[in-house]
């Protein structure tokens, strides 16, 4: 379904932003399985924005949600935090992003800074709403703060 006739043009800036995934999340969660969730999510975001980046990230987000929901009901062996970290690490690798390595390196640095007396030091990423930088930051935060 292509309905974005009157949507803003894609300048690669304002259109490819995180808020564009929201319709896809809703559509994905109402789908009965991962495959149909992915299809529904991409179709939903395509109704509002003309973008090549947005459907790709929406597919990833949809798959993450379905893996978390499915993993939460299929496995009693892992805590919710372990499941979240496992799924996030898997999808990070699919994007060539080793989120586990980044988080562990940053936690080491935070501990080192605390030993030096620098309380409250955080090495968390900062990002605007643009998908190319925001999506990896979201994976980072989900992995690092899975126990929160």
| pLDDT given at position 75 | 61
| pLDDT tens for each residue of 19-49 | 889 999 999 999 999 999 999 999 999 888 8
- Residues 15 and 20: their CA atoms lie apart, in Å, by 7
Is 53:131 a contact under the CB 8 Å cutoff? Answer: yes
Is 137:92 a contact under the CB 8 Å cutoff? Answer: no
| pLDDT tens for each residue of 59-86 | 999 999 999 988 766 666 778 999 999 9
Which pTM was predicted?
0.84
Per residue in 5-18, is it b (16+ CB within 10 Å) or e — as a string? eeeeebeeeebbbb
Task: Say whether pLDDT at 90 is over 50.
Answer: yes
| pLDDT tens for each residue of 1-19 | 455 556 656 666 667 888 8
């Amino acid at each position: 379904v292509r309905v974005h006739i009157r949507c803003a043009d894609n300048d690669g800036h304002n259109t490819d932003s995180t808020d564009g995934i929201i319709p896809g999340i809703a559509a994905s969660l109402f789908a009965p399985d991962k495959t149909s969730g992915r299809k529904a999510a991409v179709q939903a975001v395509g109704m509002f924005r003309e973008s090549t980046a947005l459907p790709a990230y929406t597919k990833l987000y949809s798959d993450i949600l379905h893996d978390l929901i499915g993993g939460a009901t299929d496995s009693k062996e892992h805590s919710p935090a372990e499941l979240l970290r496992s799924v996030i690490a898997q999808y990070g690798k699919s994007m060539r992003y080793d989120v586990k390595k980044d988080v562990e390196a940053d936690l080491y640095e935070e501990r080192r800074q605390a030993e030096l007396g620098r309380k409250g030091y955080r090495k968390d990423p900062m990002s605007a709403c643009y998908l190319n930088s925001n999506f990896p930051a979201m994976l980072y935060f989900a992995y690092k703060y899975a126990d929160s």
